[in-house]
Amino acid sequence: MTSTYELVIRASLLTIEPKVCTTSLAEHPQGYCYSRQDCALLNGTSADSCDTNYGFCCTFSRTCGGSTLTNITSFVNPSYPSVDKTSGDCSIEVALISNNICQLRLDLQKFVLAQPNLDGVCDTDYLSVSGTANDADIPRICGTNSGQHIYVNVDPTRSPKIIMKTGASEFERSWNIIITQIDCNSPKKAPDGCLQYHSELTGVVESFNYRKPTNIIEIDSNQVQRHLANLNYAVCLARMGGCKITWTPSQTESPYAFIMSGDAKTDTVQIV
């Protein structure tokens, strides 16, 4: 007869050492390799197999009032992937996994909030981060910013909170923010003072709330995505061993890919 003690030993032998893995899910591209049982105990979701098919890539999603349990966690709106219209604060507490965590990288996988007002101020909806090394370093971000990212310096003695402030309008909001904790000694750590950090040989840098125009720019203020006001931040590039950096306006939106507010006559500009 098999004893309870023997069953416990067998379960522990099947536990997979957690390590970062990738999935085929666009909304949850990374997770940790666990046994299916351990993933369920951590309230995760098993995706693709990993570790030579002995484990499953376990992804973690949390919403309002939740907290992180692992390094890579998705912070989503309550009805995700559907939208929400309710107002109020929605926050997640980031429990740091060690006292040697210096930064958070927030990948705005999906980020659709209300637009700023006519002055570019995020006064209805915006992303806020508290409990960081310097809360003043994080600007208010609103509008549509899917695909953008930001780096946040943290104090290892505090548990930062990521807060989505949503106003009273009936706007259809949706977000999926992937939170990654970065070790102080990690080569992925961004230099001090960098809100964004790019480590690829090629890529695209866009201002927050930028929309690729496809037709005549609308004059109606309700249909235009506006530049955000009061932004002063650095976009940094990693040293990749080259001897120069080349910046080129995107040809797909030429000739208006690089303009400031008021540069173009919105009643005559047409993208061809």
Query: Is domain 61-203+231-253 classified as CATH 2.60.120.290?
Result: yes
CB-side exposure of 103: number of CA atoms within 13 Å?
Answer: 25
In this predicted model, what pLDDT tens digit does every residue of 84-94 receive, in sequence order? Answer: 998 899 999 99
CB-side exposure of 93: number of CA atoms within 13 Å?
Answer: 6
Pairing of strands 66-67, 88-93: parallel
CA atoms of 32 and 60, how far apart (whole Å): 9
Cβ partners under 8 Å of residue 81, min gap 6: 27, 110, 174, 176
In this predicted model, what pLDDT tens digit does every residue of 125-139 receive, in sequence order? Answer: 999 998 887 766 788
Average pLDDT over residues 27-41: 87
pLDDT for residue 227 = 81
CB 60 within 8 A of CB 70: yes
Q: Which helix (H) or strand (E) holds 112?
A: strand 101-112
pLDDT for residue 138 = 84
- Which three-class secondary structure string do you get for 83-107? CECCCEEEEEECCCCCCCEEEEEEE
Between residues 218 and 169, the one the model is more confident about: 169
List every span in the chain annotated with CATH 2.60.120.290.
Answer: 61-203+231-253
Q: How many other CB atoms are there within 10 angstroms of residue 16's CB atom?
A: 20
In this predicted model, what pLDDT tens digit does every residue of 225-263 receive, in sequence order? Answer: 678 888 888 999 988 777 888 888 776 655 556 665 554
Question: DSSP code of 251?
Answer: G
